Amino acid sequence: MTTDRVSRRQLLGTLAAAVALPAAATAGPPAVSLRPHLRAGDFAARAAGGAEGLIARSGLPGEVVCAVADPRSGKMLESVQGSEGLPPASVAKILTTLYALERLGPDYRFATRLIATGPVQNGVLQGDLVLAGGGDPTLSTDDLARMAAELKAAGVREVRGRFRVYDGVLPFVQSIDESQPAHLGYSPAVSGIALNFNRVHFQWAPAGKGYSVAMDARSDRYRPEVAMARMRIANRQLPVYTYADRDGIDDWTVARAALGKGGSRWLPVRKPAAYTGDVFRTLARAYGVVLPAAQVGRSLPGGTVLITHQSDALRDVLRLMLKYSNNLTAEMVGMTASASGGKTPDSLRASAAEMNRWAADRLGMSNTRMVDHSGLGDASRMTAGDLVSALVQVRRQNILRPLLKPFPMRDARGRIMQNHPIKVDAKTGTLNFVSGLGGFLTAPNGRELAFAIFTADPARRARSKDSDQEIPQGARSWNRKSKALQQQLIERWSAVYAS
């Protein structure tokens, strides 16, 4: 086992060199115990039967797998079905983070460019203007507005040729997980260009005997209306939403019975390049730059780069991805990492397969089979043993924990405890009847452990897909019970293995 750990450390040398992040502070024990019942002896007595006993007494329907290890020695301390794969949900974003950091580097920045295919004479571009996507998942309406202002400052007032949008740097994906209901904003389309995480804002309000509706690409400063997506109100009870692609437009309908007194929500965009071009054209016009309607293309023409917008550094993009669990960011970052090897994947599954090969080779995650980079697809499988093994290896270089979000521990009533003696930095994952948690805990005495917990009720999840409800009956209570079990396991490991 020692030889195995050394060889993996050597394999991860490039990952360690690529990321230089400050060491995370570990919490020491409080002067006065906030929760006396966490004493090792007391808790060990209550947790008779070990982790398996806790799981059995939880009454959680379905399957539970978990594992915990000591990052210093690499020793696996406890495992329950640790080699059995379950859907990891968004815990999968840990793997995507490690994959992107090695393949791209922490300082990598995505670039979105405005390219002129001809000269600019007297304020007129004698050629095409190309808005070229570079795979940036964080591009916003505010960013496009700045690019429009810079285009005007560069002396461009009019484009004599075409206005083209290039999205071919990544493959086009209609929906991250096509089994999801069409109206869910966390499963939008994916391509080489994105705007506002490929979501369009739908707002409705009572007006006379009916409703007024609006579709826009709003930000804190701008609210440009869009022409490539439209909403019509239908006199029905269900379904609440329907979607169709009609003549290149995202055509939505909504049930009148669901509108109530007004409201708003973000809907997914199925034509990211058309959406981005539509919004940029509106913003450019506001700055006095006249553009024709956008044309979408998968080939990038040559020309002169007029304007370049760069994203934040990848480490910051990933930190926000983990904090907010954004699926689009995971998919675009993951596919960009796959493409960095010199061959652009032809599909999301192909990119995930490339990540699987990397994970097996670099992290020893030989039993992990992802179908995407976000964990949204429930056909993905990850084992608790695989994830914990990876966490142990990367912890030695302090690569991951500084990017993870603090996981709140709660009291018996479910209230967050701000000064809980156990400190946890982890990634959560939630689908209907699927819940996961993976990361690091620091016990009151300062000892650190790496852990992973996956729970799922596959039968109930399969039945829930036939429901018209976003959150089917029983899903919330199942999830609460799963999270309670997760905390109990964390408390057990802290008491037993860090005492």
Q: What percent of the chain has pLDDT over 90?
A: 86
pLDDT at 413: 83
Mean pLDDT, to the nearest integer, of 60-66? 97
Tens digit of pLDDT for each residue in 280-315? 999 999 999 999 999 999 999 999 999 999 999 999
pLDDT at 283: 98
In 169-313, alpha helices (H): 272-286
Report the CATH architecture of 2-106+347-497.
Answer: 3-Layer(aba) Sandwich (3.40)
Coil, strand, or helix at residue 184?
coil
**β-pair type (241-246, 304-310):** unpaired
Which is higher by pLDDT, 320 or 415? 320
Distance CA(12)–CA(2), nearest Å, equals 16
Read off the pTM: 0.90
Distance CA(284)–CA(224), nearest Å, equals 11
pLDDT at 3: 34
Name the average pLDDT for the chain: 91
Distance CA(440)–CA(427), nearest Å, equals 9
pLDDT at 48: 63
pLDDT at 467: 77
SS3 content of the chain, % helix, strand, coil (to 5): 35, 25, 40
pLDDT confidence band for 5 (50 / 70 / 90): very low
Tens digit of pLDDT for each residue in 370-419? 999 999 999 999 999 999 999 999 998 999 999 999 999 998 888 899 88
DSSP 21-68: -PPPPPPPPPSS-S-GGG-HHHHHHHTTTHHHHHHHHHT--SEEEEEE
pLDDT confidence band for 498 (50 / 70 / 90): confident
Distance CA(265)–CA(375), nearest Å, equals 23
Say if residues 426 and 450 touch (Cβ distance below 8 Å): no
CA 394, 397, 399, 404 torsion-angle sign: positive
pLDDT at 470: 86
Say if residues 337 and 99 touch (Cβ distance below 8 Å): yes
State how far Cα 7 lies from the chain centre.
Answer: 31
Mean pLDDT, to the nearest integer, of 142-160? 97
Q: Within the chain, which residue ranges are assigned CATH 3.40.710.10?
A: 2-106+347-497
Which is higher by pLDDT, 51 or 11? 51
Distance CA(129)–CA(494), nearest Å, equals 59
Tens digit of pLDDT for each residue in 105-145? 999 999 999 999 999 999 999 999 999 999 999 999 999 99
